[in-house]
Structure 1
Amino acid sequence: MGKVLVTGGVRSGKSAYAEALLADAATVMYLTPGYPADPASDPEWAARVHDHRRRRPAHWRTVETIDLAGALAATDSPVLIDCIGTWLTRSIDAWDAWEQPFDNWRHRFDDALQALLDSWQQHPYTVVAVTNEVGWGLVSPYPSGRLFADLLGRTNQRLAAASDDVVLMVAGRPLHL
């Protein structure tokens, strides 16, 4: 299967489709860069995380990390990354960069993306990544929203170019690009 990027809008079926691609694998490393679920502070996020966990086979190993490149390099099995948009958000948070001029931290973004791409391409097993498609809605009135859309769009383009297959999910239907 190689490298597969699954993109689409919110609730388009991306994660379920990506999980189904690896359903027959004996071992899968599930990499999630999302924030830990805390039902007390964010019950809606906790419910989403619970739904994802409930769907996954019990033998899949879950690792919560924003170091996707390092985790990919250290894994000797197929991998599912869910999701690249969350990784980007968490990375910008970790760099404390939302309010900083992009030129001040461009090198961090470029380095992190290149490290992810290198690990993506060098991983000897199937890797499936879920991402969000951006740019089909209104342009954000906030600089941080425009920056996020720009950077995720660039990230998606680079990952797509390094992938064997790119799947756009629309209303639960996969469209191979």
Structure 2
Amino acid sequence: MKVLVTGGVRSGKSHHAETLVRGEAAVTYVAPGPDESEEPDPDWALRLAAHRDRRPASWTTVETADVATAIADSAGPVLVDCLGTWLTRTIDLRGLWEAPVDEVTDVVRGEIARLVAALERPQPIVLVTNEVGLGVVPAHRSGRLFRDLLGEANRQVAAACDEVHLVIAGRVLVL
């Protein structure tokens, strides 16, 4: 079973995603956020600690921007949290925020294709993502670029999944 869990910030996406694999003996939790070599962010560290405290001790955490490889290397169920941080890391690591849109789009599409191909594995995979672009057009180029590319990633990953769950205010709607 492949499930994409989407919704707004602090809507309960991560908690819901964790419940989908809670019964599994061992889960690989893929966290594509900032790595330890980057400047420490105390707010980010608090969020990570809260997520770690909720997870069973039998789960393995893999912190990497290479989500496709992390999925491919995992023998059992995988939970990826989240595609928004994955997209940010993908662009950050290549220094593409100011690059021409076509260049950024080509790189990101290649990474989306790798991710979608990794979803063909038979084990359960749950991916968390952010739902953006429902309102105001971002004032800055980076915000518009992120919104557009995450929308494209969400659409392609959703097409490769068996189910998509929308979480709003802690309520889940299976689409």
**TM-score, scaled to structure 2:** 0.95
Matched letter for residue 3 of structure 1: K
Matches within 5 A, 1:1-177: 2-36=1-35, 41-120=40-119, 122-177=120-175
Q: Describe the superposition over 1:108-146 as per-residue Cα deviations: whole angstroms up to 9, x where unpaired.
A: 2121110000001x2111000000001123110101100
Paired residue secondary structure (1:4)? strand
TM-superposition CA deviations, 1:34-61 (whole Å, max 9, x none):
11479x9422111111000000001100
CA RMSD of aligned residues (A): 1.4
Separation in 2, partners of 1:77, 1:99: 38
Contact 1:28–1:80 (CA under 8 A) maintained in structure 2: yes
- Structure 2 gaps, min length 5: none
Q: State the distance in 2 between where 1:64 and 1:47 align.
A: 16
Query: 28-37 or 142-151: which moved more?
Result: 28-37
Task: Quote the Cα distance in structure 1 between the aligned partners of 2:41 and 2:158.
Answer: 32
Q: Secondary structure at the match of 1:81?
A: strand
SS of residue matched to 2:154: helix
Question: Which amino acid letter does the alignment assign opposite residue 67 of structure 1?
Answer: D
- Structure 1 runs of 4+ aligned residues shifted over 6 Å read none
Aligned equivalents of 1:173, 1:14: Cα separation in 2:
9
Structure 1: give runs of 5+ residues left out of the alignment: none
Q: Deviations over 1:67-94 (max 9, x none)?
A: 1111111111000000000000000001
Q: Which whole-Å CA distance do the structure 2 matches of 1:173 and 1:105 have between them?
A: 35
Partner of 2:92, secondary structure, is helix
For the 8 Å contact 1:12–1:171, the answer to whether it is kept is: yes
Distance 1:106 1:45 in 2: 27
